[in-house]
Amino acid sequence: DTEVTQTPKHLVMGMTNKKSLKCEQHMGHRAMYWYKQKAKKPPELMFVYSYEKLSINESVPSRFSPECPNSSLLNLHLHALQPEDSALYLCASSEAGVETQYFGPGTRLLVL
């Protein structure tokens, strides 16, 4: 099973709202990732967690706040987003020390 699940599938939020994106995997992977993907562009890495610790932050604005409560779950907390933050947010996971990443279906976010 190489399934990564993400909720919600779609999210519309105003610039003053607070919302969270959720990601879950049960493959025993110890590395989890958040990517942002704009239309017709490749995924761009935002954050990497390794063994539940933040290991990479690609200079992402603080209005995006990641959290890894346990080895199976990854959250992305959103606050005071801008319309340009509208995108597909992808979660991925991999075995520790292995490059192959498996992606979830994404959450399509629209910021009004």
Partner 1 sequence: GESVGLHLPTLSVQEGDNSIINCAYSNSASDYFIWYKQESGKGPQFIIDIRSNMDKRQGQRVTVLLNKTVKHLSLQIAATQPGDSAVYFCAENPMNTGFQKLVFGTGTRLLVSP
* Footprint of partner 1 (CB under 8 A): 2, 4, 6, 31, 33, 40-45, 48, 50, 55-56, 90, 94, 97-106, 108
Query: Taking the CA of residue 35 as centre, how many other CA atoms within 13 Å lie in the half-sphere pointing to its CB?
Result: 19
18/38 with CB nearer partner 1: 38
98/112 with CB nearer partner 1: 98
56/110 with CB nearer partner 1: 56
Q: Beginning with the edge strand found earlier in the chain, give each strand of the sheet holding 64-70 in spatial order.
A: 4-7, 18-25, 73-79, 64-70
Distance between CA 8 and CA 92 in Å, rounded? 15
